């Protein structure tokens, strides 16, 4: 039987990039609530300080580290801050990412867009991992969690470059997981479906008059909340997942499982919404 302490992160140190808000914030706060000392990395200094304050007010331990992870020198700053303060890093969450640079039809994208997407979605993951994985390998334990997207598991028109680099995360996760598995270090990824954060504020994305239709847009009847991903991250960071490595875990309310199927009124389904709009119900 698995000990109930398997969910505990007591005595562990976690670095979470982009943890000043959104999914990263929820992951960092959840880790702190489960006993980890957490390093809050964000390019917005005020956010790092307010997240640390909130964690400390709840009795947790956290360190603010305001850096931009796309800058190579920042990686030295963040790894020194974490290792000098806490002596080791047990969990690294590479959470920073954005779909916007160069969003639109691929044929209209430029080399600058490609570089921007590489910088914000993949290169910093290589850098942070190279900075913090060696001490995990040396100690024979650690968990690295990369935040990808469901768009690595399906096509998304108008976001080819974003999806390409995010899918690079999935490939990197698999390959690096094998390299470090013999050293007791696990590497996994989380693939979020649309989640209500500052990056994708649902109140702005879905006009008010359509909000009551949200239960029809996703099998589990709602879009994601940052805490949905924090639950998956706690699983991947803790001993609950001691024998899990190399996976990309969709946290998506059933969206990928549904493929092209959508719910209609009356709990019926269609894979042809245009026919449903015309009153024809094939499902």
Sites of contact with ligand NAD (CB under 6 A): 17-18, 20-24, 41-44, 47, 68-70, 95-98, 147, 149, 192, 194-195, 197-200
Signed CA dihedral, 219, 222, 225, 228: sign only: negative
CB half-sphere exposure, 176, CA atoms < 13 A: 24
CB half-sphere exposure, 188, CA atoms < 13 A: 23
Residue 162 annotated in active site: yes
Q: Does residue 6 contact residue 240 with C-beta atoms inside 8 Å?
A: yes
- Judged by beta carbon, residue 26 or residue 245, the one nearer ligand NAD is 26
Residue 192 has phi, psi (to 5 degrees) of: -75, 140
Contacts of 220 (CB under 8 A, 6+ apart): 253, 254
CB of 93 to ligand NAD, least distance (A): 10
Smallest CA-to-CA distance from 25 within 38, 9, 6, 7 is with 38
- Judged by beta carbon, residue 17 or residue 238, the one nearer ligand NAD is 17
CB of 281 to ligand NAD, least distance (A): 30
Q: Does residue 184 contact residue 214 with C-beta atoms inside 8 Å?
A: no
CB of 277 to ligand NAD, least distance (A): 26
CB of 87 to ligand NAD, least distance (A): 23
Given the residues 86, 162, 210, 262, select the one marked as catalytic. Answer: 162
- Judged by beta carbon, residue 27 or residue 276, the one nearer ligand NAD is 27
CA distance 87 to 103: 40
CB count in 10 Å sphere of residue 109:
17
CB of 88 to ligand NAD, least distance (A): 22
Signed CA dihedral, 211, 217, 222, 228: sign only: negative
CA distance 223 to 8: 28
The SS3 call for residue 124 is: helix
Q: Are strands 37-41 and 185-192 parallel, antiparallel or unpaired?
A: unpaired
CB of 162 to ligand NAD, least distance (A): 8
Q: Which two tokens stand for residue 13?
A: 């140190």
- Judged by beta carbon, residue 18 or residue 142, the one nearer ligand NAD is 18
- Judged by beta carbon, residue 36 or residue 69, the one nearer ligand NAD is 69
- Judged by beta carbon, residue 228 or residue 270, the one nearer ligand NAD is 228
The SS3 call for residue 247 is: coil
Residues assigned a catalytic role: 162
């Amino acid at each position: 039987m698995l000990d109930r302490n398997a969910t505990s992160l007591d005595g562990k140190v976690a670095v979470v990039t982009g943890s000043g808000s959104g999914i990263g914030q929820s992951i960092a706060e959840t880790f702190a609530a489960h006993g980890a000392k957490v390093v809050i990395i964000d390019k917005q200094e005020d956010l790092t300080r307010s997240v640390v304050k909130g964690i400390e007010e709840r009795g947790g331990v956290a360190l603010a580290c305001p850096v931009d992870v796309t800058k190579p020198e920042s990686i030295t700053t963040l790894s020194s801050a974490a290792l000098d303060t806490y002596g080791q890093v047990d969990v690294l969450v590479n959470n920073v990412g954005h779909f916007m640079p160069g969003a639109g039809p691929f044929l209209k994208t430029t080399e600058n867009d490609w570089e921007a997407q590489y910088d914000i979605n993949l290169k910093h993951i290589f850098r942070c991992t190279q900075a913090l994985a060696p001490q995990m390998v040396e100690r024979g334990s650690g968990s690295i969690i990369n935040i990808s997207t469901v768009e690595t598991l399906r096509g998304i028109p108008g976001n080819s470059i974003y999806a390409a680099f995010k899918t690079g995360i999935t490939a990197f996760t698999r390959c690096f997981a094998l390299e470090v598995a013999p050293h007791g270090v696990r590497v996994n990824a989380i693939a979020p479906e649309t989640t209500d954060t500052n990056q994708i504020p649902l109140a702005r994305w879905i006009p008010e008059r359509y909000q009551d239709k949200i239960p029809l847009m996703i099998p589990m009847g709602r879009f994601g909340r940052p805490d949905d991903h924090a639950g998956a991250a706690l699983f991947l960071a803790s001993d609950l997942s001691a024998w899990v490595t190399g996976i990309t875990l969709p946290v998506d309310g059933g969206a990928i499982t549904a493929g092209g199927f959508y719910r209609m009124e009356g709990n019926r389904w269609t894979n042809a919404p245009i026919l449903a709009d015309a009153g024809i119900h094939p499902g």
